[in-house]
Amino acid sequence: MSGMQRVCILGATGSIGRSTLEVVALHPTRFEVFALTARHRMDELAVLCDRWQPRYVAVGTPEQAQSLRRRLAQTRARAEVMHGARALEELASHPEVDSVMAAIVGAAGLAPCLAAARAGKRLLLANKEALVVGGDLFMRTVRQGGATLLPIDSEHSAIFQCLPSDHTAWSRHIDHILLTSSGGPFRAREPETLHDVTPEMACAHPNFVMGRKISVDSATMMNKALEVIEARWLFDLRPEQMRVLIHPQQIIHSMVVCRDNSVLAQLGTPDMKVPIAYGLSWPERIESGAERLEFATLGGLHFEDPNPRRFPGLLLAFDALRAAAGATNALNAANEEAVAAFLSGAIAFTAIHQVNAATLDSLAGAFGSQDTLEDLLALDERARAAARVHVKAMAR
Ligand code: NAD
Ligand code: MG
């Protein structure tokens, strides 16, 4: 890509949003921050607007917009302040935007992702839930819109980097992929002792500081479950072509096992700035600001299979992939509700899986083809309602 790349960052105050701005800051002649959006940390958003001078900024509610306008009036920022879900779609598809970083958490990111895909943008996808909810429609929209979809999730970026550039040849070369996982903070805990885990314990990830939702997902390994579904869509793989491997050091970010048993891996220090820089610069490579790997000081790399008793969510994801279309959407909705209930103290850590499994059970038979965003959102809402009933029944 030549000239200045105009970037829209959806979820700018989050962990991925902030790392994106750190990479952008290293390349002032390459990237221009055109739009920022956020729903939380409004003080920080005001500081970002002053620092980056975006043309547009979007927040959640009219009240947030009013208050941000007042704050910006005290600064040099001249951004036009917008609000609401439609504003995200407008900015993601704005004719002057080249690249969209999709770093909203949850199904709420699907509509702006689809808008960016339809408008043929370079779409940097961190928001894995969007693909879990609407994989088929999402990938069709990317193709029809002529968008360039670049994975930001470190595992999917790793696989993307290992695959041959002739994408049509993938399926002939691959036997399976190995998605690596840190195993989270409870990798070595006995499953029977997980009942009393608190949100603070669950959010204490061994290698990363991330948003609270993905941190809890890492502790249950639902994050890896969602990533299996994400990989299914990104790389057009069958369930039997995807395996999960625990690798606590997170030096290998994922691997591709070829037909001839040659294994391709992508390595690096665990730092999201690497996949973000690759997404921003592909097919080139630019400085990321991440530390370089020093092999001589690494020590050993460890690998183990996940214990399905400790991490039952993984099997649920494979079941959902094999079930009728819509099951993965319902699984994601249930998980978002269950994680929110756990973080608010309403249910136990182990109840997250119970809510997810019970929701899928209670909706079995309700799944079917999901051709439009409205179909997807209707099922999402139905699954959330079912999950809330299960949350209530399991409340402590
Ligand atoms: P986060 O909670 O730190 O940030 C989320 C951002 O989205 C914030 O700016 C927040 O204000 C905004 N947001 C939240 N809900 C919204 C809504 N309903 N509408 C509009 N905006 C909303 O999350 P994160 O850790 O940065 O993760 C973002 C996404 O990237 C998630 O899908 C996560 O799974 C994925 N991801 C994160 C990491 C990581 O290291 N943090 C790694 C891989 C993938
Ligand atoms: Mg990941």
| Nearest to 142, CA basis, from 162, 180, 114 | 114
Q: Could you identify the residue written with the tokens 């690096």?
A: 268
**Coil, strand or helix at 350:** coil
Span from the CA of 334 to the centroid of ligand 1 (angstroms): 18
CB-defined site of ligand 1, < 6 Å? 11-17, 38-40, 103-105, 108, 126-129, 153, 208, 210-211, 214, 272
| Nearest to 104, CA basis, from 133, 139, 78 | 133
Q: Report the distance separating Cα 104 and Cα 126, nearest Å.
A: 8
Q: In what order do the strands lie in the sheet with 174-181?
A: 242-246, 174-181, 252-258, 263-267
Q: Report the distance separating Cα 322 and Cα 311, nearest Å.
A: 19
**Coil, strand or helix at 11:** coil
At 169 the pLDDT is: 72
At 207 the pLDDT is: 85
Q: Is the pTM of this model over 0.95?
A: yes
At 3 the pLDDT is: 83
Mutate to test the pocket of ligand 1, among 9, 22, 155, 210 (most ligand atoms within 8 A of CB): 210
Strands (E), the chain: 5-10, 31-37, 56-59, 80-83, 99-102, 122-125, 148-151, 174-181, 242-246, 252-258, 263-267
At 168 the pLDDT is: 65
| Nearest to 232, CA basis, from 341, 317, 123, 334 | 317
Q: Report the distance separating Cα 26 and Cα 67, nearest Å.
A: 31
At 171 the pLDDT is: 74
- In Å, what is the CA distance from 281 to each residue of 8, 60, 78, 178? 15, 30, 28, 25
**Coil, strand or helix at 249:** coil
Task: Give the DSSP per-residue string, 20-57.
Answer: HHHHHHT-TTTEEEEEEE-SS-HHHHHHHHHHH--SEE
Task: Give the DSSP per-residue string, 186-224.
Answer: TTTS-GGGGGG--HHHHT--SS----HHHHHHHHHTHHH
Q: In the 8-state DSSP scheme, what is residue 83? A: E
Q: Report the distance separating Cα 393 and Cα 255, nearest Å.
A: 41
Which H or E run contains 377? helix 373-394
Question: What does DSSP say about strands 99-102 and 122-125: parallel, antiparallel, or unpaired?
Answer: parallel
Span from the CA of 237 to the centroid of ligand 1 (angstroms): 26
Span from the CA of 394 to the centroid of ligand 2 (angstroms): 29
Query: Could you read off the pLDDT tens digit of each residue along the chain, which spans 396 residues?
Result: 558 999 999 999 999 999 999 999 999 999 999 999 999 999 999 999 999 999 999 999 999 999 999 999 999 999 999 999 999 999 999 999 999 999 999 999 999 999 999 999 999 999 999 999 999 999 999 999 999 999 999 999 999 999 977 766 777 889 999 999 999 999 999 999 999 999 999 999 888 889 999 999 999 999 999 999 999 999 999 999 999 999 999 999 999 999 999 999 999 999 999 999 999 999 999 999 999 999 999 989 999 999 999 999 999 999 999 998 899 999 999 999 999 999 999 999 999 999 999 999 999 888 887 889 999 999 999 999 999 999 999 998
At 167 the pLDDT is: 64
Span from the CA of 349 to the centroid of ligand 1 (angstroms): 21
Span from the CA of 28 to the centroid of ligand 1 (angstroms): 24
* Nearest listed ligand to the Cα of residue 244: 2
Mutate to test the pocket of ligand 1, among 13, 16, 230, 274 (most ligand atoms within 8 A of CB): 16
* Nearest listed ligand to the Cα of residue 208: 1
Span from the CA of 227 to the centroid of ligand 2 (angstroms): 7
Token pair, residue 221, equals 């390994």
Ligand 1 atom 36 nearest Cα: 126
How far the first Cα of the chain sits from its last, in Å, is 54
Q: SS3 sequence, 124-160?
A: EECCHHHHHHHHHHHHHHHHHHCCEEEECCHHHHHHH
Rg value, the chain, Cα: 20
Token pair, residue 88, equals 């995200």
* Nearest listed ligand to the Cα of residue 205: 1
Span from the CA of 105 to the centroid of ligand 1 (angstroms): 4
Indicate which atom in ligand 1 lies nearest the CA of residue 41. Answer: 11
| Nearest to 51, CA basis, from 87, 9, 82, 93 | 9
Ligand 1 atom 20 nearest Cα: 39
- For residues 57 and 45, the answer to whether their CB atoms sit within 8 Å is yes
